[in-house]
Amino acid sequence: MSNTVELHRVLKSTPDRIYRAFTTAGAFAKWLPPYGFFGTVHEMDSRVGGRYRMSFTNLTTGGSHAFGGEYLELEPGRRVRYSAEFEDPRMPGRMQTTVTLREVVCGVEVRITQEGIPDFIPVESCYLGWQESLAQLARLVEPEIKE
């Protein structure tokens, strides 16, 4: 499918911590925005059929873009699937992101597929943004801090 990115990583973490990073507002705001942006979660109802809304703000320019969607599938520690639509009319359409988690001997295999990326966003830029986000995800979920 065109306008799709696929990513694969192995993180030294647990399936539960990674799952929570996708379904906890503060965590999502911390790791998902690519470098140079910060995230604000305006709404998050982490249940199938629940909705979320967030925005990314460019720290340099102050420009912001908002998007939101619905949780389509949630299997704790195994799978997250959600939709996303931008509020900017230049970026119409509905994206879908599927995250699959599988425990492996050295951590967790994470596979992400994002489909339906608006034509306004170059797929390569989306892929780069995801790479930056996943580096930040690793920094959040890999440390095992006991109290």
Predicted confidence (pLDDT) at residue 1 exceeds the cutoff of 60? no
Q: pLDDT tens for residues 94-143? A: 999 999 999 999 999 999 999 999 998 999 999 999 999 999 999 999 99
Predicted confidence (pLDDT) at residue 2 exceeds the cutoff of 80? no
Could you give the 3-state DSSP secondary structure of residue 140?
helix
**Tokens 């994470």 found at:** 110
pLDDT recorded at residue 90: 87
Phi then psi for residue 48, to 5 deg, are: -60, 125
Q: How many CB atoms lie within 10 A of CB 93?
A: 13
Determine what percent of the chain is predicted with pLDDT higher than 90. Answer: 91
Q: Which two tokens stand for residue 6?
A: 């696929």
Domain ranges of the chain: 5-35+72-141
Q: Under CATH, domain 5-35+72-141 is a member of which superfamily?
A: START domain (3.30.530.20)
